[in-house]
């Protein structure tokens, strides 16, 4: 074989090998970068979802304590209503701040579920601000808020690819309204 042809074939083989190595390495690095970015955003979404859920749950707990004080539920200890309503307003401010991160990072179905849960909590507050709130209306709204909470969690878990199974069904054995009483706190 001609030495020039042999050198050209050798150079072509080296160039082809180098190009193949470059393409293979680039593909692997690009996939690794995407996985890293995905994990990074998953961590940020997890934090956004959990902080938002904590803020909304805090508002729900305040609503429940107010309902207990107003005699709408048979559990819990009374609270000062003015203080509790002030804390509820502060809780709404915290929830609204965390909402922005959910809007920025969240998946659309999860955002919709979060919005529905918050709107139901606002309904709880609306009922509690009435002069003589109806215990069954509050109880139904509270149960709906808990159902919407579970829907939010199910959507968030799906968005984060958590595959441990669905959330357990809600039971309401311990959540009963107080019977109507003329001396119920208002």
Digit-coded pLDDT (tens) for 40-52:
688 899 999 999 9
pLDDT tens digit string along 54-67?
999 999 999 999 99
Q: Which residues contact residue 167 at a Cβ distance below 8 angstroms, ignoring those fewer than 6 apart? A: 150, 153, 154, 157
Q: What is the pLDDT of residues 153-175, one digit of tens each?
A: 999 999 998 888 777 776 655 56
> What is this structure's pTM?
0.74
DSSP state of 71: T
């Amino acid at each position: 074989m001609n030495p020039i042809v042999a050198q050209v074939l050798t150079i072509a083989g080296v160039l082809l090998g180098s190009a193949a190595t470059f393409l293979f390495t680039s593909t692997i690095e690009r996939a690794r970068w995407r996985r890293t970015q995905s994990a990074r955003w998953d961590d940020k979404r997890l934090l956004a979802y959990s902080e938002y859920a904590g803020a909304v749950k805090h508002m729900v707990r305040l609503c429940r304590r107010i309902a207990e004080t107003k005699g709408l539920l048979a559990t819990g200890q009374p609270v000062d209503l003015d203080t509790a309503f002030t804390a509820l307003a502060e809780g709404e401010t915290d929830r609204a701040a965390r909402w922005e991160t959910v809007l920025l990072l969240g998946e659309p179905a999860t955002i919709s579920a979060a919005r529905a849960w918050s709107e139901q909590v606002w309904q709880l507050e609306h009922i509690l601000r009435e002069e003589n709130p109806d215990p069954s209306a509050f109880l139904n709204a509270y149960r709906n808020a808990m159902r919407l909470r579970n829907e939010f969690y199910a959507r968030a878990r799906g968005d984060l690819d958590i595959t441990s199974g669905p959330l357990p069904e809600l039971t309401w054995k311990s959540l009963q309204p107080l019977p109507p009483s003329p001396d119920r706190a208002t």
